[in-house]
Every structure is written in C-alpha cells, then in structure tokens.
Structure 1
C-alpha cells in the first residue's frame, strides 16, 4: 500500500516538474491610521455598543469613580490587588483579588473595577491582558457590572495598531460593549457571558 502511494506521488511530482513556481502573494495591510480625535472616536464607538461611557480629566478619575458607584448604589466592589489606591472610593467595601476571590464571592459583589491594556478607537473595543490594574480574566467576567478606566495614551486607532502593543502570549480579553447574545429570532439577551453593564471612564 505504501509503495503504491509513493509511486503515485512520484508520478504526480514528475508530471508537475516543468510547471513554473507560483508567484509569491504579498499583502500589504494598512497597520496604522490617523484620525483627528482618537479618544472621541473611541467614546462614540463604545457608546454604539450600548455601554455607558464618560470622557473625563485624568485628575477627576477618583471623583468620577465614586460618583458612578454612588449613582448605582454599589456598596461592594471586587478589584485587582494593584489598582491605584485613589480609585478606591470611600464608602465602598473593596475586595482585592489577593488571594483569589471564590466564584461565589465574585458573583455576589456589586461590580468590578479595572484598568485596561489597550483600547481600539475604530471598533470601540477594550482589551485586557491580566496586566497592571486588570487582574485575572474571571475577575472581569463574573460580576454583573464592570467599571473600566481607559487612559488616553492606551487608545490605538486601528486593530493592527493595538495588536502591535500587546503581547500575544498573554491572556487577551476583547470587550466590545456589555456581554450580549441573541437567538435565532434575534432577541437580544445581555449578561450571558459576562457583565450585563459596562461603564467606561476615558481619562485624558
């Protein structure tokens, strides 16, 4: 059987020996683009995904975090252990994820507060990679409310530009609006695979 297969393949190779090699296909992708206001574009696209988004001054971030949590009546928040201290608003019980919180604890909190690794203006996508101020993936997927802080210098215009900033070996989570899915009748259901509510503070 192996001899017959080898003989057939040898005949095929001999028959194709005089064929010219195919030309190499070169695809020159556009890896970066310029827009007048990348942060403004991100804010617009994040809102398109039915997320709540605010454009704030960097110095106002702690105050706006406290304001948003008070508006929701949130009293308990999970948080990565390395989230900046000023972000932890008074009047809220903060549960650092160190040691890792149990699933039941995460399911019972009012929400989670994180930073991000990058944000993509054109697609309104926020990327987490378990790096600084982000914590492990489960931390941002289990609670029903996710409050995320994005710095202006983390905003990339295009997907290729954002990917160039990320480490592919890290656990990347791409977030485009609150978790949602739909059935064959196109009935939208939110909160199936992650937070039902995504709120974003874009600081500059």
Structure 2
C-alpha cells in the first residue's frame, strides 16, 4: 500500500459518520459575527492602521503620491542599500529616483543570492487596520513570496485609502483564496521560553510601510 492510499484511507474512515445530507461547510458555519469593531471614519481607520503597524515595530511613513519616488529613494539611501529586488510589475516611477542597483526577481535566483540583496520594495494587496496586518498576494507588483522573506529590509507601499480596510473579515472579501497569500504583522520575530525577542528569524528584520495618499474612494471598507 502506498503512502497516498494510506492517507486517503484515513480520510475515508474519518468521514464514515458524516451523513450525506450534512450541510456543507459554507452553511454549517455561522457568519453573523461583527465584521468590524466601532464606527470609524476613513481617516480614523488609516490612523488606526498606522498605530498598530508601529505597535508591531514596523516603521511607518506617510507621503503624497507625487512624493512616493523621493520617499522610497530616501529610505533606501538612509539604509545604505546598494541593491534592491524589484517585482516585475512594480510601478517604475517608485524607484526612478533611487540610487541602487535593481535586481530582477528571477525564478532561478537562489536563496543565497537573495540573501545578498539589501532591500526589497513591493506594493500590497490590502491592509487591515484593526490588526495592523498587511497582505501580499503574489501579484506582479508584489512578486513571489520568497523575495519578501529573504532580504533583511522590506519597504511595502500601501495605497491610502483604497487598500485599507478595518478588519480581517473585510480583507478576506478582497482576496483570492487560490493565490499565495502572505500575512504580515510587523517585522519577522520570535521569542524563546524566556520571552527574549529575536527579529529576522522568518523574514526581514526591518519592515518600513509607506502609506501613500491617492485619490480617495467613496468607502474605505467596500
């Protein structure tokens, strides 16, 4: 018997007591919980996102859309970054003013090669204010998951207010579950049994989030 057959056999035995008329999962789980906590304006929701990002030790910056290129260039220069990984669909103007070598995200790039890169700049899919969480979905302006996990410095751009929602349930409504989703709440960190915090274990030690103001939408939570 193969491993596949053993696993499928266990699944089949586990389901023997499930009735054929049992309601599907989508109907069996109640979805009448609150989708957000409190009644906030667009500005208050963005402020809450910034507050919770900072609480997770991310470094938060705000700028207008016309200032974004200069802001990113300044962050890379302050970091001393000489190389930066660039997702294939990143807006070219974001790095036009940066004095750093652009490293293209290639399938054949090894983890060792990516570890030698100073920084990575990406967009995001959505950000949830109540948890200070940013979600990447592997779109062309975010690149593959590993380019945001291996370099030690990640600059992530969040378009405000269109990419900001109040809560995780609202974020889920915007995401495609078939895509490779990366959920980020601050820089990578872990703690041992003595609660000594160590950063950079599972990803970048430094996360800088740029909240860039663009033309506002009618409803931040839509």
* TM tier, smaller: 0.7 to 0.9
Moved over 6 A (4+): none
Instruction: Give the equivalent residue in structure 2 for 1:203.
Output: 212
Rg larger for: 1
Contact preservation (8 Å) 2:122, 2:157: yes
Does residue 1:86 correspond to 2:93, yes or no?
yes
Task: Report the Cα distance in structure 1 between the residues aligned to 2:152 and 2:112, rounded to whole angstroms.
Answer: 13
Instruction: Give the equivalent residue in structure 2 for 1:183.
Output: 192
Q: Which runs of 5+ in 2 are unaligned?
A: 1-27, 214-222
Contact preservation (8 Å) 1:81, 1:98: no
Identify which range, 53-62 or 94-103, moves more after superposition: 94-103
Does residue 1:170 correspond to 2:179, yes or no?
yes
Task: Report the Cα distance in structure 2 between the residues aligned to 1:60 and 1:100, rounded to whole angstroms.
Answer: 34
Q: Which runs of 5+ in 1 are unaligned?
A: 1-23
SS of the residue corresponding to residue 130 of structure 1 reads coil
Instruction: Give the equivalent residue in structure 2 for 1:63.
Output: 70
> Match for 2:156 among 148, 166, 188?
148
RMSD: 1.5
Task: Report the Cα distance in structure 1 between the residues aligned to 2:128 and 2:33, rounded to whole angstroms.
Answer: 17
Instruction: Give the equivalent residue in structure 2 for 1:137.
Output: 145
Identify which range, 35-44 or 191-200, moves more after superposition: 35-44
Matched positions, count: 181
TM-score after normalising by structure 1: 0.84
TM-score after normalising by structure 2: 0.78
Task: Report the Cα distance in structure 2 between the residues aligned to 1:190 and 1:96, rounded to whole angstroms.
Answer: 26
- Matches of residues 8-157 of structure 1 in structure 2 within 5 Å? 26=30, 28-32=32-36, 34-36=39-41, 37-88=44-95, 89-152=97-160, 153-157=162-166
* 1:29, distance to aligned residue in structure 2 (A): 1.1
Instruction: Give the equivalent residue in structure 1 for 2:16.
Output: none
Contact preservation (8 Å) 2:76, 2:119: no
Identify which range, 82-91 or 69-78, moves more after superposition: 82-91
CA gap 1:178/1:25 in 2 versus in 1, 3 angstroms: closer
SS of the residue corresponding to residue 211 of structure 2 reads strand
SS of the residue corresponding to residue 201 of structure 2 reads coil
SS of the residue corresponding to residue 127 of structure 1 reads strand
* 1:132, distance to aligned residue in structure 2 (A): 3.3
